[in-house]
Amino acid sequence: MISVGIVGGTGYTGVELLRLLAVHPQVGLEVITSRSEAGRRVDDLFPGLRGHCDLAFSAPDPDRLGACDLVFFATPNGTAMTMAETLLEKGARIIDLAADFRLRDPAEWEQWYGMPHACPALLEEAVYGLPEVNREAIRQARVVANPGCYPTAVQLGLLPLLEADLVEPDGLIADCKSGVSGAGRKASIAILEAEAAENFKAYAVPGHRHLPEIRQGLEQATGRPVSLTFVPHLAPMIRGIHATLYARLRAPADAAALTARFEARYRDAPFVDVLPAESHPETRSVRGANACRLAVHVPQGRETVVVLSVIDNLVKGAAGQAVQNMNLMFGLPETTGLDLPPLVP
Amino acid sequence: MISVGIVGGTGYTGVELLRLLAVHPQVGLEVITSRSEAGRRVDDLFPGLRGHCDLAFSAPDPDRLGACDLVFFATPNGTAMTMAETLLEKGARIIDLAADFRLRDPAEWEQWYGMPHACPALLEEAVYGLPEVNREAIRQARVVANPGCYPTAVQLGLLPLLEADLVEPDGLIADCKSGVSGAGRKASIAILEAEAAENFKAYAVPGHRHLPEIRQGLEQATGRPVSLTFVPHLAPMIRGIHATLYARLRAPADAAALTARFEARYRDAPFVDVLPAESHPETRSVRGANACRLAVHVPQGRETVVVLSVIDNLVKGAAGQAVQNMNLMFGLPETTGLDLPPLVP
Amino acid sequence: MISVGIVGGTGYTGVELLRLLAVHPQVGLEVITSRSEAGRRVDDLFPGLRGHCDLAFSAPDPDRLGACDLVFFATPNGTAMTMAETLLEKGARIIDLAADFRLRDPAEWEQWYGMPHACPALLEEAVYGLPEVNREAIRQARVVANPGCYPTAVQLGLLPLLEADLVEPDGLIADCKSGVSGAGRKASIAILEAEAAENFKAYAVPGHRHLPEIRQGLEQATGRPVSLTFVPHLAPMIRGIHATLYARLRAPADAAALTARFEARYRDAPFVDVLPAESHPETRSVRGANACRLAVHVPQGRETVVVLSVIDNLVKGAAGQAVQNMNLMFGLPETTGLDLPPLVP
Amino acid sequence: MISVGIVGGTGYTGVELLRLLAVHPQVGLEVITSRSEAGRRVDDLFPGLRGHCDLAFSAPDPDRLGACDLVFFATPNGTAMTMAETLLEKGARIIDLAADFRLRDPAEWEQWYGMPHACPALLEEAVYGLPEVNREAIRQARVVANPGCYPTAVQLGLLPLLEADLVEPDGLIADCKSGVSGAGRKASIAILEAEAAENFKAYAVPGHRHLPEIRQGLEQATGRPVSLTFVPHLAPMIRGIHATLYARLRAPADAAALTARFEARYRDAPFVDVLPAESHPETRSVRGANACRLAVHVPQGRETVVVLSVIDNLVKGAAGQAVQNMNLMFGLPETTGLDLPPLVP
Residues in chain C within 8 Å Cβ distance of D281: 47
Q: Are D143 and D86 a contacting pair, CB within 8 Å?
A: no
What does DSSP assign to residue C293?
E
Could A235 and D235 be called an inter-chain contact, meaning their C-beta atoms sit closer than 8 Å? yes
Residue D202: band (very low, low, confident or very high) from pLDDT cuts 50, 70, 90:
very high
D282–C contact, CB cutoff 8 A: yes
Active-site residues of C, by number, are: 149
In sequence order, the 6+-apart residues with CB closer than 8 A to the CB of D109 are D99, D103, D117, D123
**pLDDT (tens digit, 9 = 90+) per residue, C46-60?**
999 999 999 999 999
User: Using CB atoms, which chains have 3+ pairs under 8 A with B?
Assistant: A, C, D
Residue B55: band (very low, low, confident or very high) from pLDDT cuts 50, 70, 90:
very high
Residue C120 shares a structural domain with residue C154: no
C9–A contact, CB cutoff 8 A: no
Q: Which of A197, A207, A299 sits opposite D299 (nearest CB)?
A: A207
Residue B258: band (very low, low, confident or very high) from pLDDT cuts 50, 70, 90:
very high
Q: Which of B186, B187, B238 sits opposite D197 (nearest CB)?
A: B238
CA distance C129 to B113: 48
Min Cα distance A239 → chain C (Å) is 8
* Mean pLDDT computed over D144-172: 97
Does residue D182 surpass a pLDDT of 90?
yes
Q: Which of D68, D119, D149, D292 is catalytic?
A: D149
CATH number at residue B81: 3.40.50.720
**Long-range own/partner contacts, residues B20-23 (CB < 8 A, 24 or more apart):** B20/B315, B20/B319, B20/B320, B20/B323, B20/B337, B20/B338, B21/B323, B21/B337, B22/A341, B22/B49, B22/B52, B22/B53, B23/A339, B23/A340, B23/A341, B23/B337, B23/B340
What does DSSP assign to residue B318?
I
Is residue C322 a part of any domain in this protein?
A: no
Interface predicted TM-score (ipTM) of this complex, two decimals:
0.97
Q: Which pLDDT value is given to residue B43?
A: 97
Q: Which of D49, D181, D343 sits opposite C288 (nearest CB)?
A: D343
Is residue A325 a part of any domain in this protein?
A: no
Is residue D319 a part of any domain in this protein?
A: no
CA distance B90 to B101: 19
B316–A contact, CB cutoff 8 A: no
Nearest CA in chain C to D46: C285
Per the structure, how many domains does chain B have? 2
C23–D contact, CB cutoff 8 A: yes
Could D275 and C343 be called an inter-chain contact, meaning their C-beta atoms sit closer than 8 Å? no
Residue C94 shares a structural domain with residue C162: no
Does residue D301 surpass a pLDDT of 80?
no
Q: Which pLDDT value is given to residue D300?
A: 83
Is there a cis peptide before residue B345, judged by omega within 30 degrees of 0? yes
What are the angstrom distances between the C-alpha of D33 and each of A289, B86, C96, D57? Answer: 48, 52, 46, 5
Could A193 and C188 be called an inter-chain contact, meaning their C-beta atoms sit closer than 8 Å? no
Residue D223 shares a structural domain with residue D296: yes
**pLDDT (tens digit, 9 = 90+) per residue, B77-135?**
999 999 999 999 999 999 999 999 999 999 999 999 999 999 999 999 999 999 999 99
* Mean pLDDT computed over C75-98: 97
Residue B93 shares a structural domain with residue B23: yes
Is there a cis peptide before residue B299, judged by omega within 30 degrees of 0? no
Min Cα distance D305 → chain B (Å) is 33
Give me the phi and psi of A307, to 5 degrees please.
-110, 130
- Known catalytic residue at B149: yes
CA distance C105 to C109: 6
Residue C106 shares a structural domain with residue C245: no
Nearest CA in chain B to C201: B282
Residues in chain C within 8 Å Cβ distance of B303: 171, 227
Does residue C300 surpass a pLDDT of 90?
no
Q: Which pLDDT value is given to residue A300?
A: 84
Is residue C232 a part of any domain in this protein?
A: yes
Is residue C345 a part of any domain in this protein?
A: no
Element of type H or E holding D110: helix D106-113
Could A194 and C186 be called an inter-chain contact, meaning their C-beta atoms sit closer than 8 Å? no
| DSSP notation for B117-142 | -S-HHHHHH-EE--HHHHHHHHHH-S
* Mean pLDDT computed over C168-197: 97
Instruction: Please give the residue range of the domain that contains residue A287.
Output: 149-312
Mutation choice for D interface testing from B193, B234, B239 by most D CBs within 10 A: B193
Residue D183 shares a structural domain with residue D307: yes
C279–B contact, CB cutoff 8 A: no
CA atoms B1, B6, B10, B15: torsion sign: negative
Residue C78 shares a structural domain with residue C176: no
Does residue D133 surpass a pLDDT of 80?
yes
Residue D26: band (very low, low, confident or very high) from pLDDT cuts 50, 70, 90:
very high
Min Cα distance C144 → chain D (Å) is 25
Interface of C with A in 233-252 (CB under 8 A): 236-238
**pLDDT (tens digit, 9 = 90+) per residue, D56-88?**
999 999 999 999 999 999 999 999 999 999 999
Q: What's CA B288's distance to the chain center, in Å? A: 13
Min Cα distance B190 → chain D (Å) is 8
Residue C286 shares a structural domain with residue C246: yes
Q: Which pLDDT value is given to residue A246?
A: 98
Min Cα distance A18 → chain B (Å) is 9
Could B297 and C237 be called an inter-chain contact, meaning their C-beta atoms sit closer than 8 Å? no
Residues in chain A within 8 Å Cβ distance of C180: 192-194
Nearest CA in chain D to B314: D194
CA distance D71 to D118: 18
CATH number at residue D227: 3.30.360.10
Could A238 and C181 be called an inter-chain contact, meaning their C-beta atoms sit closer than 8 Å? no
Does residue B284 surpass a pLDDT of 90?
yes
Is residue A173 a part of any domain in this protein?
A: yes
In sequence order, the 6+-apart residues with CB closer than 8 A to the CB of C177 are B177, B200, B233, B235, C232, C233, C234, C235, C241, C242, C243, C244
Is residue C136 a part of any domain in this protein?
A: no
Nearest CA in chain C to A345: C198
**pLDDT (tens digit, 9 = 90+) per residue, B169-185?**
999 999 999 999 999 99
CA distance D204 to D178: 13
Residue B94 shares a structural domain with residue B238: no
Nearest CA in chain C to D315: C343
D191–B contact, CB cutoff 8 A: yes
Q: Which pLDDT value is given to residue B300?
A: 84
Does residue D302 surpass a pLDDT of 80?
no
Q: Which of B53, B68, B149, B176 is catalytic?
A: B149
Domain end position, chosen among D64, D91, D125: D125
Q: pLDDT of chain A along its 345 residues, tens only?
A: 999 999 998 999 999 999 999 999 999 999 999 999 999 999 999 999 999 999 999 999 999 999 999 999 999 999 999 999 999 999 999 999 999 999 999 999 999 999 999 999 999 999 999 999 999 999 999 999 999 999 999 999 999 999 999 999 999 999 999 999 999 999 999 999 999 999 999 999 999 999 999 999 999 989 999 999 999 999 999 999 999 999 999 999 999 999 999 999 999 999 999 999 999 999 999 999 999 999 999 998 779 999 999 999 999 999 999 999 999 999 999 999 999 999 999
Residue C63 shares a structural domain with residue C200: no
Mutation choice for B interface testing from D149, D186, D192, D343 by most B CBs within 10 A: D192
Residue B289 shares a structural domain with residue B156: yes
Could C230 and B283 be called an inter-chain contact, meaning their C-beta atoms sit closer than 8 Å? no
Q: Which of A47, A49, A341 sits opposite B52 (nearest CB)?
A: A341
Does residue D144 surpass a pLDDT of 90?
yes
Min Cα distance C233 → chain A (Å) is 15
Residue B139, burial from CB neighbour count under 10 angstroms (0-12, 13-18, 19+)? middle
B67–D contact, CB cutoff 8 A: no
Q: Are D211 and D228 a contacting pair, CB within 8 Å?
A: yes
B36–C contact, CB cutoff 8 A: no
Mutation choice for B interface testing from C177, C180, C193, C200 by most B CBs within 10 A: C200
Residues in chain D within 8 Å Cβ distance of A201: 242, 280-283, 310
Active-site residues of A, by number, are: 149
Q: Which of B19, B340, B343 sits opposite A23 (nearest CB)?
A: B340
Is residue A191 a part of any domain in this protein?
A: yes
**pLDDT (tens digit, 9 = 90+) per residue, C260-272?**
999 999 999 999 9
D200–A contact, CB cutoff 8 A: yes
Residue B302: band (very low, low, confident or very high) from pLDDT cuts 50, 70, 90:
confident
Could B278 and C308 be called an inter-chain contact, meaning their C-beta atoms sit closer than 8 Å? no
Could D48 and C341 be called an inter-chain contact, meaning their C-beta atoms sit closer than 8 Å? yes
Residue D168 shares a structural domain with residue D93: no
Q: Please state, rounded to an integer, the average pLDDT across all residues of chain C.
A: 97
